[in-house]
Chain A
Amino acid sequence: MEQEMSLEGRIARLSEMVGPSGHEEAVREEIRRQVAPFVDDLFEDSLGNLYAVRRPRGAGSGLKVMLAAHMDEVGIIVTHVDDQGFLRFAPVGGLSASVLVGQQVVFANGTVGVIGTEPLDDLKDLKMERLFVDIGARNREDALQRVQIGDMAVYRRAASVVGRRMVGKALDDRVGCAVVVEALARLGDSSPHEVYGVFTVQEEVGARGARPAAYRVAPDVGIAVDVTASADTPKARPLPMALGKGAAIKVKDNSVISHPVLRRLLVERARQRGIPFQMEVLDRGGTDAGPIHTSREGVPSAVVSIPTRYLHTPGEVIDLDDARAAVDLLVAVLQDEIRL
């Protein structure tokens, strides 16, 4: 039964779905299944954003709160099929050639490929244009039976739990999706707010889904739930985020400065309820909160993040306790009055 899925189970299952930017269908269907029992309305728009709506309970001055987590993951797109059946590709989102070499990838139709490289004289020549996908085709015709120009593929990797931590692909941002689903499930009849859980498309290529989603919902408050870089590995850039220190409350990144009142409210609720949290300052990157906070006449917005190591690789690592803390924090904020 979906209702009895654990948070860990939700994250693992979602991370294994294929959902590159613009082709989030499988992720959307899985989230739809997981979230349906807990919401009053469920629909999607023409770009593929999924909206899960929980109506306010009880009388009172509830707000319209938009929680946003993106369904898409980084991937590759086929741009050319050669006579031998090898596929040339371009990146979808931020990918590095050095991470791609030797990886297995999988297409939405289940076709599996491995990424090979032309012979290189120097590692400096390792560029995306020199790589190709081998899907075991005998020739071009054989390849075109399975894959077309414009088809997208993602890393092929199962999620696994190691102690308190989880390793897998696309934890960016399936952990955020799972956290939002879990928060909606846990709300019960306890929130005075109208809560829109919005599962967005195309974040990795420039937060494109969130812009029309925010316009459509026209929320009073926006909270994006996404991963952030974790800086607790050897010689990492000096940033405060680390695995296991709790839900990260974002101060700023390149797309948004969290609304100070909302940010303080998150900190206050975390303190009151004893929820582990850490502050996040990110010097690059952005989230859906970027387009949300500048939508229409402006929307006070913040971000709750889950620190993640090795972002955009097939071996992203999170601490499950941080994800749990993120759920606790969202539920805590949504159960009480929000005063801006």
Chain B
Amino acid sequence: MNLHDSRSARLLADLEDLSRAVGVSGAEDEVRRRIVDKLRGFVPADQIETDTMGNVIVTRPPRAGGDDGTVVMLAAHMDEVGLMISFIESDGTLRFKKVGGIDDRLLPGKAVRIGPKGVPGVIGVKPIHLQGEDERGRVEEASQLFIDIGADSREQAERVVRVGDRAVFEAQWCTMGADGVCGKALDDRVGCTALLELLRGDYPVTVVGVFTVQEEVGLRGARVAAYRVAPSLAIVLEGTVCADLPGREPHEEATRLGDGAVLSVMDRSSIAHPELVRVLSGLAERHGIPYQWRRTAMGGNDAGEIHTARGGVPSASVSVPCRYIHGPVALARLRDLEAVVRLVETFLQELPETGLLQRLHEERRCEDEPWSRR
């Protein structure tokens, strides 16, 4: 990887920018704004729309002469896990609820930013000096914790914070090692970054890129987006679990940082379309694009809703392994992000030659399709 290469430099800059943006499920505004700003630099305005839930839908027509009606949907979710202010105590401290899956062990003592104005706060914790024997080593449940914004009273707190405001971990960004990137919300700003890059391309099929909302609370944006787009097939771009850590058994690591793009066979939300996955792994082999299998069946992503939309959509996921996701900082490697972009780009360019579309269209029928006769 060469950071002077324009793609690498762009991926790095976009990822940093999007990682720093705040977008807890249902309040993805800042992420959406930054994505749309970037898109406007290379996509005509009439190809960008935002639906009622806030999904950004970018329709890229095929290059001249190639249109056979095939629509490939690429999806990456804009939202991140976070907190929501649920009550303001009389002493000015804030109670909160978790939005999406966050490990309670990661909360105490962390700096957070609250609401659209980014009010600083810290998740309060009793100093270790004052903890009794029984308190040490125990994990306080999120419902027992509070955020301290330095206010002395409810009235003071209410001037800057409202119930319903989202909070996120304070953004910290750095690069480390040869191509390591460290920041919050890499799940799924790595996918958003890859999708932005892919939408710059010129392909033989229609590509609809969807930046979805509310994935972390149940794949909600993807459901309406897939219905609207009605794609021929779909690829979800994700930041996925990685536990290649000391003390873990090899069969428990799920993915390995630096080993390339991650192909899924099955998770809790979907079973990837076998033929589509075969085409993806075949292309990776042929073009020497590093890839690895996702070696767990846990987790879920937007493919869960997309693959059962309308009459069914063959779907697969291509992911970037990220250590420590759903925490204050995750760690990923640019080479994996680049592998994801290269693999999906290659797929889109070579899709007509793979024979996949013909096989899907045939549907192994006896006669013509009754639903097309309606």
Contacts and interface: CB of A to CB of B under 8 A. Distances in A.
Interface of A: 21-23, 41-47, 49, 53, 77, 79-80, 82, 88, 90-92, 129, 149-150, 202, 205, 208-209, 211-213, 215-216, 291
Contacts of A91: 297
A205 B310 contact: no
Contacts of B252: 129
Interface string B300-324: 0000000111111110000000000
Range of interface residues on B (Cβ < 8 Å)? 20 to 34
Contact of A215 (B273, B295, B311): B311
B44 interface: no
Nearest to B271: A22
Contacts of A82: 250-251
A44 B363 contact: yes
Contacts of B1: none
B134 interface: no
Contact of A43 (B298, B360, B363): B363
B312 A46 contact: yes
Say what secondary structure dominates the interface of chain A.
mixed
Given A22-B271, A77-B265, A44 B364 contact: yes
A216 B311 contact: yes
Contacts of B309: 212
Contacts of B360: 46
Contacts of A80: 250-251, 295
Contact of B366 (A21, A41, A49, A79): A41
B312 A212 contact: yes
Nearest to B367: A41
Contact of B314 (A46, A150, A208, A209): A46
Contacts of A41: 366-367, 370
A88 B360 CA distance: 32
Given A43-B369, A46-B273, 15 more contacts: A41-B366, A43-B364, A45-B363, A46-B311, A46-B360, A47-B273, A80-B251, A90-B297, A149-B295, A150-B265, A150-B277, A205-B271, A211-B308, A212-B308, A215-B311
Among A21, A22, A209, residue most surrounded by chain B Cβ atoms (within 10 Å): A22
Among A53, A90, A149, A150, residue most surrounded by chain B Cβ atoms (within 10 Å): A150
Interface string B277-298: 1000000000000000101111
B227 to A, nearest CB: 10
Interface in B248-277: 250-252, 265-266, 270-271, 273-274, 277
Contacts of A45: 311-312, 363
Contact of B266 (A42, A44, A150, A211): A150
A46 B293 CA distance: 23
Given A77-B266, A90-B296, A216 B312 contact: yes
Contacts of A202: 271
B312 A47 contact: yes
Say what secondary structure dominates the interface of chain B.
loop
Contact of B365 (A43, A149, A150, A291): A43
B247 to A, nearest CB: 14
A56 B18 CA distance: 57
Contacts of B311: 45-46, 212, 215-216
Contacts of A129: 252
B251 A79 contact: yes
Interface in B355-374: 360, 363-367, 369-371
A150 B367 CA distance: 33
23 contacts: A22-B274, A41-B367, A42-B365, A43-B364, A43-B366, A43-B370, A44-B365, A45-B312, A46-B313, A47-B273, A77-B266, A79-B297, A80-B250, A82-B250, A90-B266, A90-B297, A149-B293, A211-B308, A212-B310, A212-B312, A213-B312, A215-B310, A291-B308
Contacts of B370: 41, 43, 53
A23 B312 contact: no
Contacts of A21: 271
Nearest to A36: B366
Contacts of B312: 45-47, 49, 209, 212-213, 215-216
Given A43-B367, A149-B293, A216-B312, A92 B270 contact: no
A216 B311 CA distance: 5
Contacts of B308: 47, 208-209, 211-212, 291
Contacts of A92: 266, 297
Contacts of A212: 308-313
A42 B365 CA distance: 7
A77 B270 CA distance: 13
A202 B277 CA distance: 17
Nearest to A91: B297
Nearest to A217: B371
A149 B265 contact: yes
A208 B371 contact: no
A77 B366 CA distance: 32
Contacts of A77: 265-266, 297
Among A23, A43, A209, A213, residue most surrounded by chain B Cβ atoms (within 10 Å): A43
B270 to A, nearest CB: 7
Among B271, B298, B360, B367, residue most surrounded by chain A Cβ atoms (within 10 Å): B271
Given A79-B296, A149-B293, A22 B266 contact: yes
Contacts of B297: 77, 79, 90-92
A202 B99 CA distance: 29
B314 A47 contact: yes
Contacts of A43: 363-367, 369-370
A196 B254 CA distance: 41
A30 to B, nearest CB: 15
Contacts of B266: 22, 77, 90, 92, 150
B130 to A, nearest CB: 37
A197 to B, nearest CB: 13
A104 B312 CA distance: 34
B311 to A, nearest CB: 4
Nearest to A45: B312
Nearest to B365: A43
Interface string B216-250: 00000000000000000000000000000000001
Contacts of B364: 43-44
B222 to A, nearest CB: 14
A205 B265 CA distance: 14
A150 B363 contact: no
Interface string B76-120: 000000000000000000000000000000000000000000000
